[in-house]
Structure 1
Amino acid sequence: MALEMRVLQADEWDVWYDHLELAFGGVPETPQERKLYKSLTEAERSLGVWDGDSCVGSAGSFDFRLSVPGGAVVPAAGVTMVGVSPTHRRRGVLRSLMRRQLDDIRAGGEPLAVLTASDPAIYGRFGYGIGTYALSLDMDTTRIRLSVPPGTDEVRLRLVDPQQALADCERVYAALLAGRPGMPARRPGWERMPLLDAPGMRDGASPLKCVVAEREDGEVVGYARYRVKPDWDFTGSDGKVEVNDLDALDPAACAALWRYLFEIDLTWTVRASRRPVDDPVLHLVSDVRRSRPRTRDSLYVRLVDLSAALEARTYGAPADVVLEVEDAFCPWNAGRWRLVADGKGVARCTRTEEPADLELSVRELGSAYLGGITLTSLAAAGLVRELRAGALTEASRAFAGDVAPWLPHGF
């Protein structure tokens, strides 16, 4: 029987999602997770491949807005729920899904596609490049002290119910968007994602807790959401604080929140994951080694409309370079493009017949796009080739950002 690809119908969601759970190992998600993802799924942006009544392949995308260098929030397809049944490997199912999806994203006028990869080896061949990294920390509070900036003691901290504090926390998050590339603007419904707190997700830790940082007038200027995982051994308590989120609008609020987490009774480790790689806490701790910093790949970026994507962001330095771009999967991006940026917020990217200054693939442009990975470092790996002396430095300085791009949560 021939396989059929079609847009998901609302009444097919449970079968479609059952397939996805199977593709990811067959462990059912909690009812709370499943309910949330069902409410967030955009059926008209979701694809299924069917073999008779069985769903054997899936791919979806969310209608995102992503912050980019310069503070703009740009339409982006948040690619998700990609899976192929083990019975249908090596039959072109994934490739056909990626082909249809990118064609649809282009037709919808979204210049970017982004995803988090369950298997990093998969998506490079479809033009996705690593755009952000995430930092994980296990901070030994018995051996680390914090140095906090002036004003930290003036910050008021208050424990609140996470649901009741949601509106204040969302205002803080929204205020940070323009200053850090890679953050999705929270569309309606997505504010529930950080509050997902099913008992089956806690692994022995407490229910989700929230502490907010306030000024004297009661304005919320930061928050941390966390769980406490009690543990005991022969010598006494050995608890851990597991940090889900920590966002703050100023250094004093940031330091006050970290200090609070470090001083929770009966705990000796503060564990944080999915943090920006330039997190301020790295400069507050007395011993960064005892913080056990580790990084891993996070957000993958794909330029769907190369010209529109490159014109949507700003550049940190003037540049006038001709890029020879290879893009076998989306050939409308392939060829020579002249990027002219004034370093003040205006950029133009147009087709040209002029000689190329740099050669690279669309993957490298995706990696450099948010400003956290330099073209110079990619060139050192042989992935960017300089054809005009000085062009690499010129372009690399223009693309580089002042802060590390960051994806604060998965999708």
Structure 2
Amino acid sequence: MTLEVTDGVSGVPAGLSMRVLEPEGWDAFYDALERAFGGGAESAEEREVWRSVSNCDRFIGVYDGNDVVGTAGVFSFRLTVPGGESVRAGGVTMVSVQPTHRRRGVLRSMMRRQLDDIRAAGEPLAMLTASEPPIYGRFGYGNASDQLSATIDTGRVRLALPEGTDRVRLRIAEPVEVRGECERIYAARVPSRPGMLARQPGWEAVPILDPPSGREGASPLLCVTAELDGKLSGYARYSVKSRWDSAGPNGSVVLRDLEALDPVSGAALWDFLFGIDLTSTLVVRNRPSDDPLLHLVSDIRRCRVAIRDSCYIRLVDVGRALAARTYTAPVDVVLDVADSFCPWNEGRWRLSGDAKGAACEPSKEPADLALSVRELASVYLGGVPLTALAGAGRVRELRQGALAEASAAFRGLAEPWLPHGF
């Protein structure tokens, strides 16, 4: 399907065309993506995994003649929101513009098409991880969750293990062989934290993708499982990077992911990672910002913890999105929402809800708070206080007391977290 050439606001720039990706065009599409990101070619294994989870009907390319100059795609996801519900979301991915075609409206035309398509598909949310965060704010995306990284000196940091940790049995396993069991653990964890993705069929291959080119000198991917009372209760996937210096072994353990169904299984897995022979450092690259690990360690300073932005959310349908989650405290506010890129969201919305459910409908009542859809996106998963955005001048209180009421209601019981990229 080729779009008609129109202006750079509602369609593609003059002289270019936009088409839904045909399966036979996948390699040319992916070649253009790799070129735009400036890296070397990924392995055939990686390319095939991403091909297998991609629905070409939801991918588009912008073409200059036969050359791919813009790429963008959408994955069909289900995202956990505060309250534990799994909400449909369009996962925006593989967005690129060739350096020869920058600043001509190519990206804007793809964002326009994507959000229209996500809305038509009935998905109230869009989400992405941003290579360059400033790009997406102008399209209404707000940073809604963070990720924690740490480089832990395991020679000096100790763990305060909870009672019962010694009941957990650990077993080394091949990642492929226990993939199904690990996926069941992961699936059981998904409703417990906003921001987590329910993995669709085929996505079980993504967490164990392990091309040699991506190991950076570390071992192939390894896996340890935890059992409590004879039942699988957790797992950790990791690699080991061997290093020796004049003082002896000084290797690193690099954690890929860890999930556990209970505190003692989680603690047992961390204890295992801390104690691997010939290593003195544990590298953690993506954990929740409120990870229990922070309260197990004896010396947080020697963990060299860092927090950075992770998942960006976009409310495609304000009413449906706000009604899909629950609220920690009772709330009844009228929001005056600005959204120039998706004007169907513009205007006043009355949000009323509590821990049991919510409703959000268009309203003609006086507004209590004024903000843009970007601010709503940032607070949507419960990780960013509305009061912080108001302090930055990005939310205006129009009724005294409304800000405190809404901020308390939007905050979640657990910090939101996206466990893996896409």
Output the TM-score relative to the length of structure 2: 0.96
Within a 5 Å distance, the mapping from 1:104-123 to structure 2 comes to 104-123=117-136
Match of 2:404 in 1: 393
Q: Provide the C-alpha distance between the structure 2 equivalents of 1:135 and 1:26, rounded to a whole number of angstroms.
A: 25
Q: Provide the C-alpha distance between the structure 1 equivalents of 2:381 and 2:89, rounded to a whole number of angstroms.
A: 13
Q: Secondary structure at the match of 1:69?
A: coil
CA contact (8 A) 2:159 2:271 kept: yes
1:169-215 Cα distance to aligned partner (Å, 9 max, x none): 11111111111010110000101101001111111100100000001
1:355-397 Cα distance to aligned partner (Å, 9 max, x none): 1100100001000000011101111111111111100010011
Q: Secondary structure at the match of 2:206?
A: helix
Q: Secondary structure at the match of 1:195?
A: coil
- Indicate the RMSD between aligned Cα atoms, in angstroms: 0.8
Q: Provide the C-alpha distance between the structure 1 equivalents of 2:356 and 2:421, rounded to a whole number of angstroms.
A: 30
Alignment partner of 1:308 is 2:330:
no
Alignment partner of 1:44 is 2:57:
yes
**1:164 to partner: Cα distance:** 1.0
Match of 1:383 in 2: 394
Letter aligned with residue 395 of structure 2: V
Alignment partner of 1:212 is 2:225:
yes
Q: Provide the C-alpha distance between the structure 2 equivalents of 1:242 and 1:31, rounded to a whole number of angstroms.
A: 24
**1:40 to partner: Cα distance:** 1.4
**1:101 to partner: Cα distance:** 0.5
Match of 2:9 in 1: none
Match of 1:344 in 2: 355
Within a 5 Å distance, the mapping from 1:137-216 to structure 2 comes to 137-216=150-229
Match of 2:421 in 1: 410
Alignment partner of 1:251 is 2:258:
no
Aligned counterpart for 1:68 among listed residues 67, 81, 91: 81
**1:26 to partner: Cα distance:** 4.1
**1:228 to partner: Cα distance:** 0.3
1:63-112 Cα distance to aligned partner (Å, 9 max, x none): 00001110100000000000000000111000000001100100110000
1:257-313 Cα distance to aligned partner (Å, 9 max, x none): 000000000000001111000010100000000000001100000000110000111
- Structure 1 runs (4+) greater than 6 angstroms displaced: none
Letter aligned with residue 274 of structure 1: N
Match of 2:380 in 1: 369
Within a 5 Å distance, the mapping from 1:193-342 to structure 2 comes to 193-217=206-230, 219-341=231-353
Q: Secondary structure at the match of 1:253?
A: helix
Q: Secondary structure at the match of 1:131?
A: strand
Letter aligned with residue 185 of structure 2: V
Within a 5 Å distance, the mapping from 1:21-40 to structure 2 comes to 21-40=34-53
Q: Secondary structure at the match of 1:126?
A: coil
% same residue: 61
Q: Secondary structure at the match of 1:295?
A: strand
**1:320 to partner: Cα distance:** 0.5
Alignment partner of 1:11 is 2:24:
yes
Alignment partner of 1:94 is 2:107:
yes
* Worse overlay, 371-380 or 126-135: 371-380
Match of 1:356 in 2: 367
Change (3 A) 1:216 1:344: closer
Q: Provide the C-alpha distance between the structure 1 equivalents of 2:55 and 2:409, rounded to a whole number of angstroms.
A: 36
Letter aligned with residue 419 of structure 2: P
Output the TM-score relative to the length of structure 1: 0.99
CA contact (8 A) 2:335 2:348 kept: yes
Q: Secondary structure at the match of 1:101?
A: helix
Letter aligned with residue 418 of structure 2: L
**1:229 to partner: Cα distance:** 0.3
Q: Which residues of structure 1 form unaligned runs of 5+?
A: none
Q: Provide the C-alpha distance between the structure 1 equivalents of 2:73 and 2:355, rounded to a whole number of angstroms.
A: 36
1:126-154 Cα distance to aligned partner (Å, 9 max, x none): 00000000000101011101001011000
Q: Provide the C-alpha distance between the structure 2 equivalents of 1:361 and 1:382, rounded to a whole number of angstroms.
A: 11
CA contact (8 A) 2:75 2:90 kept: yes
Q: Provide the C-alpha distance between the structure 1 equivalents of 2:311 and 2:25, rounded to a whole number of angstroms.
A: 29
Q: Provide the C-alpha distance between the structure 1 equivalents of 2:67 and 2:316, rounded to a whole number of angstroms.
A: 31
Q: Provide the C-alpha distance between the structure 1 equivalents of 2:134 and 2:82, rounded to a whole number of angstroms.
A: 27
Q: Provide the C-alpha distance between the structure 2 equivalents of 1:207 and 1:318, rounded to a whole number of angstroms.
A: 50
Q: Provide the C-alpha distance between the structure 2 equivalents of 1:347 and 1:197, rounded to a whole number of angstroms.
A: 42
